[in-house]
Amino acid sequence: MHKYKGTLQIDGIKREDAGVYTCTAKNTAGYVTMKSTLNVVTKPVMEEFKNITTQVNGNAILQCRASGDPAPDIRFHKDSNREPFSMGPQKDSRIVVDQRKQGRETTAILKISDVLRTDDGLYNCIAFNQRTKTELLGHITVEFPPTFANTPMKEAWSWDGRAANVTCLAEGIPNATIAWFIEGAPERPVDSGMANIKQIGFQSLSSLEVSPIDRSLYGFYKCVATNKLGTAEHRVQLKEARKPGPILEAIVSEKTATTITYKIVGPVDNGGLPVKSFVAQYKEDLATWEKEHKLKSWNVEQQLFTIENLEPMRTYFVRFAAENEVGLGNWALERPETTPRRSAPETPVILNEVNGVAITAYPDRFELIWRVPPDNGERITAFEISYVPVRNLTIQRGTQIEYEWDPVGQKLLETKPLSEPRHMLRNLAPGTYYRVEILAENSIGKSAPATIIIKTAAVPGERGV
């Protein structure tokens, strides 16, 4: 205490220092007194917050007890929720929060009726008074009987005695024990003495490794999960996979001097496993299938299927099969196909993305990209690229309205030797429409042209065509 300033300093203040203090000032003329109350706020102390275990559809009571000066308020906050629980009934009417204070101590209770599995988790007890708070985590464990809700496997496949895994995943608290049974008459439990069946895992996640050396091991296997709350069953069928059935259709879509392109309709019977490829076997007219054939395989996701590097004016016999993991199905649809004579190349295919008009980001250039077409028996020597400024005209012919691109400038021509199928057109006018054509050339002649309309980017302040 400072004698003349009238201040009282308490170091290391304690709860016991709270109370009423009297200050007395006096001199030769007399004295005067003043009373003041000191309240000491102490940080809340957790007295009790225990983990609890309950069962699904049961009731849960989570109790948190804390003390402090003054007695703290308490809130509960589930770790997976954004906001803490409020006092009283919640939006989820199953949950009610209540608290009571007695002296320095507060007891809060979180009550959950008709407990769900989603109520399982961490809960934070937060005790707070005027300026301080204390937190402590507790856990509600919700026990429930086994379930196979997250077991996707309903079938497994094997062939030629290959080992296959038959798997089940049982969720449950406490963990379930797993037993396997082979369905039949009679039903047989799987045990360690079986030569071609091995169980891997006996709790929650379990698999059977089955090597079906004979067909009696194909069929249904039953996974039975058990804990103190109940039992659940899940059936998985082990099936024997086969090679695919025959191709239904192979229709010629395009034929050139050196290629034949087909549309293929796959088999009705995939053998139990997805068809991964279509295969063509082909040979020249007088060759034998045993030694002189060739094979071409395609991914089934393709839309068109092309046999390449054929000879012009030759007759080939072609047959088809489908393939899955088991192997290649039987050949079907054998037929002769004769390639036409050598001729000018097919039309190139422009690959630039076009939605009516191809818009280039540059005011003075455009890169044309194309796919090299079949050469029809004579090597392609060059590509001829022409481009000319155009404008769009609307023409009415009777009751019909037609749109045409009319040239408005000089047509320019550039030649590109056979190499990478792309070419940059330069020195174009900004903000201008162009008609661009490309054709392929070999020693016999020129292909029909492929056409694209483009528009260059405008330069601010300038007007285009």
pLDDT tens digits for 344-386? 999 999 999 777 889 999 999 999 999 999 999 899 999 999 9
Higher pLDDT, 62 or 12: 62
Instruction: Find the range with the poorest average confidence among 241-245, 326-330, 396-400, 402-406.
Output: 396-400
Q: What pLDDT does residue 202 have? A: 93
Residue carrying structure tokens 């101590």: 105
Higher pLDDT, 226 or 36: 226
Region 148-240: CATH code: 2.60.40.10
Mean pLDDT over 241-270 rounds to: 95
pLDDT tens digits for 159-195? 999 999 999 999 999 999 999 999 987 889 998 778 8
Closest Cα to residue 23, out of 6, 9, 11, 37? 6
Closest Cα to residue 335, out of 283, 293, 294? 283
Q: In what order do the strands lie in the sheet with 60-69?
A: 42-49, 60-69, 105-112, 95-102, 88-89
Phi/psi at 351 (5° precision)? -105, -5
Give the domain ranges of the chain. 1-40, 43-145, 148-240, 249-338, 349-455
Mean pLDDT over 201-212 rounds to: 94
pLDDT tens digits for 444-462? 999 999 999 999 999 865 5
Q: What pLDDT does residue 152 have? A: 86
Is a pLDDT exceeding 80 seen at residue 6? no
Q: Is the dihedral of CA 115, 116, 118, 121 positive or negative?
A: positive
Model confidence at 3, in pLDDT bands (50, 70, 90)? low
pLDDT tens digits for 392-401? 888 777 778 7
Instruction: Find the range with the poorest average confidence among 10-19, 232-241, 408-417.
Output: 10-19
Is a pLDDT exceeding 70 seen at residue 1? no
Q: What pLDDT does residue 193 have? A: 79
**For the chain, first and last CA: distance in Å?**
95
CATH architecture of 349-455: Sandwich (2.60)
Region 43-145: CATH code: 2.60.40.10
Q: What pLDDT does residue 355 have? A: 76
- Decide: 209 and 197 in contact? Cβ < 8 Å: yes
Q: What pLDDT does residue 320 have? A: 97
Residues above pLDDT 70, as percent of the chain: 98
Residues above pLDDT 90, as percent of the chain: 76
Mean pLDDT over 113-142 rounds to: 94
Between the alpha carbon of residue 216 and those of residues 185, 196, 220, 270, the distances in Å are: 12, 11, 11, 23
Is a pLDDT exceeding 70 seen at residue 35? yes
Residue 319: exposure state from Cβ atoms within 10 A (0-12, 13-18, ≥19) = buried
Q: Does the predicted TM-score (pTM) go above 0.85?
A: no
Distance, CA of 359 to chain centre: 33
Task: For residue 336, say if its preceding peptide bond is cis, omega within 30 degrees of 0.
Answer: no
| Same fold across 43-145 and 249-338 | yes
Return the CATH superfamily for domain 249-338: Immunoglobulins (2.60.40.10)
Mean pLDDT over 98-126 rounds to: 96
Coil/strand/helix, residue 17:
helix
Mean pLDDT over 302-309 rounds to: 94
Closest Cα to residue 410, out of 427, 431, 387? 387
Model confidence at 403, in pLDDT bands (50, 70, 90)? confident
